[in-house]
Structure 1
């Protein structure tokens, strides 16, 4: 009787360790119900019962987990991206925004950095900030 009890304890310990390792090594996408960490706690705290629960309830079958597809292989994604005219409109708006940004960057202060031959307009500094900028207009910089 003692041998049988020892064998059952040994099989239970091996099953417990196997279920801990299996739960820890499975990707998070194959854990059902609760998070991976919660399953690990369940399997560790409830040695044999936790392992049985893990294999019956918590472990998703490999076939049940959907393989990730590239966007161009996913019909749902392709249906959501819109028509060519929507994309053309989006590109046109982005080009307009870039043109506006370029026009704003043509400010005289920045032109001097791009074109060394031009001088920036002399604008008076704000009150209380005289002497805080270096020769390049960087506040607080020395030299």
Structure 2
């Protein structure tokens, strides 16, 4: 069992480095195709070379593509803090105005419903 361990490690390194290389957008020092051939043709040294000299440098993304993911790319301790909407007087004023509009709309609907019910009581639908 122990004699198969080096082959298992070599295969795991090959698979990991190959997948990592294929998923990388822009590798360092060589083209992606060259790195794939180096990893496959030079088994252990190619994988180690990829890990040391081929992987792109990882830098946290500071430009966020979508406003809904403003905290994407930041570690938890570096995430920008946003104020709560409960602290914003403009937001609260807008909520009150919206609540007043909804209350008025609800009262109008209730009045329309009462009118329809009263008409139905006075004028029952014709039976077939």
TM-score class, shorter: 0.3 to 0.5
What TM-score comes out, normalization by structure 2 length?
Answer: 0.45
Q: Which has the higher contact order (CA 8 A, sep 6+)?
A: 2
Q: Which has the higher helix share?
A: 2
